[in-house]
Structure 1
Amino acid sequence: MKSSRDFLLGFITGVVAGILTAPKSGQESRQWIQDEADKRTKDLQDQWSKGVEQVKSQVEQVKSQVNQWTGKLQDESETKKEKFNDNVDNLANKAHSGVDSAKQSIKID
């Protein structure tokens, strides 16, 4: 914001100084002011467009990074879920074996 304010202040100061020191007719001065205003407007539009493109590029980079992180988290989540389910299955099998062993020992006695 400060650079825009400084730019506009410099522009206005330059225009006023140019008008006051220019040995031109009123119509020539007005045409010069119009030409300068058009030139500065185009410069500002170009700067704005470049800024917008930079922001878009950065947003795309952030999206890409978030997508990568999301993919990694999903992969890790699936891996941990599979390990957890395997552990639960193993414990269930061991418990079932223990119950079967207990039943066997009760029948034998």
Structure 2
Amino acid sequence: MYTYGLSPFSTEAKMLFENLGVDYREISLGQEWLPGLIAEGGAQKRAALLEMTGQSSIPQVFVGGQALGGLFSGTPGLLPALEERKLMKMIEEAQINFVPPPLRISFDSA
């Protein structure tokens, strides 16, 4: 997963994988959207992402080497893939480690 430190979409994508219990590798392109604060090589990585995926938006998520896109858009995008039940299938097919979080059931009668 290619991320940018202060990108809210990057934060949401990471939280989604963490909530699903999915192992992922993060490649950060920097901390802020300011020139001078882009990590070394970040601009080149972003240009390579544009060439590979047709998008330079961040995050860019890959599952098993296959480009999934960003949080909302791409081929098909992280959230659309989750909603269409494609994401977990891709994760399983790529043999990525994941431990589903425990069910949280409340029996409190409020």
TM-score (ref. length: structure 1): 0.22
TM-score (ref. length: structure 2): 0.22
More strand by percentage: 2
